[in-house]
Amino acid sequence: MKIICLIDDTAVNENLYAEEGMSLFVEFNGRNYIIDAGLTGKAVDNARRMKLPIDDISAVFLTHNSLAHTGGIDRIMHMNPNAEIYLRAGAKQEVFRKNGLFKSAAGQGKGFFRKYAKNLILFNSFSEVCEGFYLASCEKFDEKMINPDRGYFVNNPDEKKPVPFDFSDESFAVIFPKKRKADGLILIGGCFHCGAANMLDTVEERWHGIPILAVIGGFHLTGSNPKSLGVPAEYVTATARALKLSGAEKIYACHCTGFKGFDTLDEVLGDRILYLGGGEALEF
């Protein structure tokens, strides 16, 4: 199994684009998959520059309906019109961010769901892409471990004002790269809005006792710039402790983790955490 970071907020060399988004290319059991599509179509450009078969994709998995993860879907689907798109059913809600009196769409709207109706596989809480490649959502919830950034809203017909979004669109991938499942799994998230600790608890309950080879994704810790935190430092430290207690061999942080967030995680995790930039590859 191989995972290549197509695009991230950073890139490993000047020949690759960087943007505020995330996209991973996954080679697994003789097939190619995409996890998240980045903010624009630049993930496709990077794939071409890395000579990856971006026109031979079996399925796309979108971790949640955020433009930083879904914005580049048209470029990918233009080359792979028959590819399946996996997305949690809660993503059909129109989510927006508020900035004073103004609001902006946080993800894809109704047009996306009409356009790709034949490709979409909308699941509620659990789905199997293929043997050894599963999609899950949080089944264990410690409220203290949900990401404190609650700046996302939806309109509720029963309420006069918009209500905070509950991230019922979010899911994560669990992949078993070895011949025997007992040899370990990889957890891949997008932004871990529901909390990395809650996802880890869900994995432990569903796949009890199986070692975690790696946790990969953005941890949504950055503030208005990568050198600041957008959540309390105590939350970052609690997340780091949960990752450490999980026994995960490696943590690969990217995207919305931010530099300050990464440094705070590093204080607890040490050499178990690495940054995964655009153009880097992992093999399991």
- pLDDT per residue as tens digits for the range 247-268: 999 999 999 999 999 999 999 9
Report phi then psi at 189, rounded to 5. Answer: -115, 175
**pLDDT > 70: percent of the chain:** 100
- Mean local confidence (pLDDT), 159-176: 92
pLDDT digits (tens, 9 = 90+) for 195-251: 999 999 999 999 999 999 999 999 999 998 999 999 999 999 999 999 999 999 999
pLDDT > 90? residue 185? yes
Tens of pLDDT, residues 131-164: 999 999 999 889 999 999 988 999 887 778 888 8
Whole-number pLDDT of residue 249: 98
* pLDDT surpasses 80 at 1: yes
| CB count in 10 Å sphere of residue 41 | 18
* Mean pLDDT estimate for the chain: 96
- pLDDT of 103 > 90? The answer is no
pLDDT at 18 over 90: yes
Asked if residues 88 and 64 have their Cβ atoms less than 8 Å apart, the reply is: yes
H-helix or E-strand spanning residue 198: helix 196-206
**Contact yes or no for 192/217 (Cβ under 8 A):** yes
Lookup: tokens for 70 = 């879904």
Residues 43 and 72: their CA atoms lie apart, in Å, by 7
Q: Could you report how far apart the first and last alpha carbons of the chain are, in Å?
A: 5
Q: How would you class 38 by CB atoms within 10 Å of its CB: exposed for 0-12, middle for 13-18, buried for 19 or more?
A: buried
pLDDT above 90 as % of the chain: 91
The per-residue pLDDT for 157 is 77
Give residue for tokens 């404190």: 148
Q: Which domains does the chain have, with CATH numbers?
A: 2-283 (3.60.15.10)
Residue 100 has pLDDT above 90, yes or no: no
Mean of pLDDT values over 62-87: 98
- For the entire predicted model, the pTM comes to 0.96
Look up tokens 């007992």; give the residue: 182
Q: Is the pLDDT of residue 92 over 80?
A: yes
Residue 162: what pLDDT? 86
